[in-house]
Amino acid sequence: MSVECELNPHEKSMQFLREVCNIDGIEMIDSNSIYKIVVQVRGRSGRHYEVEASRPIGLFMQTPWTTEVVGAAWKRDFDSEKARAYTAKLCLNIHEDKEHLPVGDRLASLVLSLHNDVKLAMEIPLVAQFIVCPREELFHIFTFQEELVVTQDMSDESALEGNPQHVLDFMEEDHDVEFIDFLPGFWDDELGEQEAFDLDSIQTNWLQDVSDDIMQRFD
């Protein structure tokens, strides 16, 4: 009997996720816990993402995994608490129709979608907003939502007695990401060999044109 046949669905999905993490720009980070899975992704835009799935210790089979996506302009912004001040949460999640799938399959879909974040931005406005947001502005942003961008000030206010209810409601919502199609030729090898765009260093009209084009698609 092969080793693959002996694996349970969770183990098979994690094996698949590890294979996905062999793709250039996708890396699994050792979390030292079976209850937390961390994957870092470099998007085609040049932006970086950290996807973390976790569940309570001791309730491995009873409690569903929760997923959080954090975005950064620079990969090193994930390296320290001080640098993480320049990161922001992106309210993205796998579509509820796919929640029955093992966590490895769901994470693989999510990280592959983020790896091709330029395409994802054409479908989800909050990703486009994150891509074009200057790094310095990320310092003031708590999370990118479907309906609005929640700033740190808004987040602090929501902890006070006079909470703006609409802010609290939006902060509890995630935007679903459809399960991507694993099709032959889905990834363009030529694009994979190119350097990612550095949106913070480009000081030409090209950046404004890209920003305008992306945002016009959602008007």
- 3-state SS, 89-124, equals EECEEECHHHCCCCHHHHHHHHHHHHHCHHHHHCCC
User: What does the pLDDT look like over 103-113, one tens digit per residue?
Assistant: 999 999 999 99
49 backbone dihedrals φ, ψ, rounded to 5°: -135, 145
Q: Is 66 left (phi over 0), alpha (psi -120 to 50) or beta?
A: beta
Q: How far apart are CA 167 and CA 156, in angstroms?
A: 11
Tell me the one-letter amino acid at 198: D
Into how many domains does the chain fold? 1
At residue 90, the pLDDT reads: 97
What global pTM score does this model have? 0.72
Residue whose token pair is 């700033």: 151
Tell me the one-letter amino acid at 103: V
Task: Give just the sign of the alpha carbon dihedral 78, 26, 132, 157.
Answer: negative
At residue 128, the pLDDT reads: 96
Q: How far apart are CA 93 and CA 36, in angstroms?
A: 16
Task: Report, as ranges of residue numbers, the positions in the chain whose pLDDT lies below 70.
Answer: 1-5, 59-62, 95-99, 155-219
At residue 64, the pLDDT reads: 83
| Contacts of the segment 20-28: beta carbons below 8 A, 24+ positions apart | 20/108, 20/111, 20/112, 21/111, 23/112, 23/115, 23/187, 24/192, 25/115, 25/192, 25/196, 26/111, 26/112, 26/115
**Domain span including residue 59:** 3-216
202 Cβ contact partners less than 8 Å away, ≥ 6 residues apart = none
At residue 181, the pLDDT reads: 42
